[in-house]
Chain A
């Protein structure tokens, strides 16, 4: 059975609107976002359906969908939306809420996407800058897919396309501190 929010109030809609700064209620389901979205074919629910799910207060279903993980924030949808809704911000809000409330979509693809972002952020915390080669290596190790993209390695490395090292920041400590403070800020909202 579908419950519309809690106690007759759609708290999910309120949460998403607050976090995204958009008003999801303005969506009149024209579907232009779906036709525009370059990755809608990979989504469990395309953007239009996610918008409707938010309106119906379907918190769990929206969190567990892979849609917000596949959104590339290319902003093609919001550019064409006749209601000018910031759909990527809505997708981002759903994703951030799902992360905060610990809803984990455990499909392989979403796990890999999430792992990539975690590795990237850990890299920046450590060096202050991106270390591409290490990031790719770590991604392969942690997703147990050692040979992924290995065919690209010889040419990329020989041509100097991907450097072997990274020059860490002088103030790498400031970045570590920023991470800790940002995390604290996230919790104290």
Chain B
């Protein structure tokens, strides 16, 4: 059994709870044991680095220092924003010991930063540490028939000198994993375009515009669904989709899955564990393409029906 230090990030307890819980199902199949960083704190994304330099390093550093006390030397991070802040901090601290020492004076109780823990996004962990072939070997229910547009967003592969993973322009790791699950990855040009990220609340207009373009391109690529590995991308593309449809006068109706939801499905986990009722855009239409599947359980029947009616565009 492999072990992995785990940083869930704040959204794992909120908007991306389904990412966190399906990730745990997937890692159970892959025989990986997660060890949470005890009493981890918010990484500060995106606000800390926007407003101030020291805090933007200090918040991730506390988590890195706490992680160094655990046995494992690799930290897996679910949220793409957390991953980037943690990785940026690690790279800058390792390059510049003087800066590390200075920032370390703000992390008082936890101890000294040593730089002994490697930081990886969960996508990177799947691709590099588990491997596509191992993932293929665990598939019991092929997703053949499902066409997906793999959307990476800005943070998983950029900036390339920080992430050192896949391509900053046209990454393929998630595509390969989806193909291993039996799905078809479409030729999708907007893989690494920005969804508007943290402007979701403060500058919604920008998000509707940018995420709208991504939805349009995904639809044009012939995809039934979009696959992501970032909580902010998921909520911008899924939760804001009815608003985008209203604004553009187009009906996209394209569900946005976390990669772990599709992996858990292909690994034969029961559908009622995959948290599909949490999606704003219904997933049934897209999943119908993989043939016979148990009906998606509708736990909260009434509200979901109301939502569907509300989001319809004349």
Interface residues of A (CB under 8 A from B): 19, 38-39, 42, 70, 72-76, 78-80, 86, 88, 92, 95-96, 99, 109, 112-113, 115-118, 120-121, 124, 128-130, 132, 135-136, 139, 148-149, 152, 154-156, 158-163, 166-167, 169-171, 174-175, 177-179, 181-183, 185-186
Count: A-B pairs, CB below 8 Å: 179
Closest to A95 in B: B50
Partner of B168, one of A79, A115, A163: A79
Partner of B54, one of A135, A154, A186: A186
Partner of A155, one of B53, B102, B210, B280: B280
In contact, B53 and A96 (Cβ under 8 angstroms): yes
| Given A73-B49, A76-B158: A182 in contact with B54 (beta carbons within 8 A) | yes
- Other A-B contacts than A130-B14, A152-B239, 6 sampled, CB-CB below 8 A, are A39-B210, A73-B50, A79-B158, A79-B159, A92-B49, A129-B41
In contact, A167 and B15 (Cβ under 8 angstroms): no
Cα-based distance from A22 to B271 in the complex (angstroms) = 50
**Which of B105, B106, B300 gathers most chain A CB within 10 Å?**
B106
Tell me how far the C-beta of A67 lies from the nearest C-beta in chain B, rounded to whole angstroms. 13
Q: What are the 9 A-B residue pairs with the smallest beta carbon separation, nearest first? A: A116-B202, A74-B154, A130-B10, A117-B47, A120-B47, A181-B106, A74-B194, A158-B303, A75-B158
Tell me how far the C-beta of A4 lies from the nearest C-beta in chain B, rounded to whole angstroms. 27
| Given A139-B201, A163-B13: A182 in contact with B52 (beta carbons within 8 A) | yes
Partner of A75, one of B108, B154, B304: B154
Is B294 interfacial (CB 8 A cutoff)? no
Is B33 interfacial (CB 8 A cutoff)? no
Tell me how far the C-beta of B229 lies from the nearest C-beta in chain A, rounded to whole angstroms. 16
In contact, A178 and B203 (Cβ under 8 angstroms): no
Partner of A159, one of B11, B155, B277: B277
| Given A72-B196, A154-B303, A178-B59: A128 in contact with B41 (beta carbons within 8 A) | yes
Tell me how far the C-beta of A142 lies from the nearest C-beta in chain B, rounded to whole angstroms. 11
Closest to A111 in B: B202
13 contacts between A and B (CB under 8 A): A39-B206, A70-B206, A72-B154, A72-B194, A72-B196, A72-B199, A73-B154, A78-B159, A79-B169, A92-B50, A116-B201, A121-B47, A179-B55
Cα-based distance from A25 to B70 in the complex (angstroms) = 45
Is B39 interfacial (CB 8 A cutoff)? yes
Interface residues of B (CB under 8 A from A): 10-11, 13-15, 17, 39, 41-42, 44, 46-55, 58-59, 62, 102-103, 105-110, 154-155, 158-160, 168-169, 192-194, 196-199, 201-204, 206, 210, 235, 239, 243, 277-278, 280, 300, 303-304, 306-307, 310
| Given A38-B193, A109-B203, A178-B59: A159 in contact with B109 (beta carbons within 8 A) | no
In contact, A185 and B106 (Cβ under 8 angstroms): yes
Partner of A76, one of B17, B194, B239, B277: B194
Inter-chain contacts of A185 with B (CB < 8 A) = 54, 102-103, 105-106
In contact, A130 and B197 (Cβ under 8 angstroms): no
Cα-based distance from A129 to B49 in the complex (angstroms) = 16
Cα-based distance from A19 to B99 in the complex (angstroms) = 13
Cα-based distance from A183 to B203 in the complex (angstroms) = 27
Cα-based distance from A45 to B149 in the complex (angstroms) = 33
In contact, A155 and B307 (Cβ under 8 angstroms): yes
Cα-based distance from A119 to B148 in the complex (angstroms) = 37
Inter-chain contacts of B62 with A (CB < 8 A) = 174-175, 178
Partner of B15, one of A79, A161, A177: A161
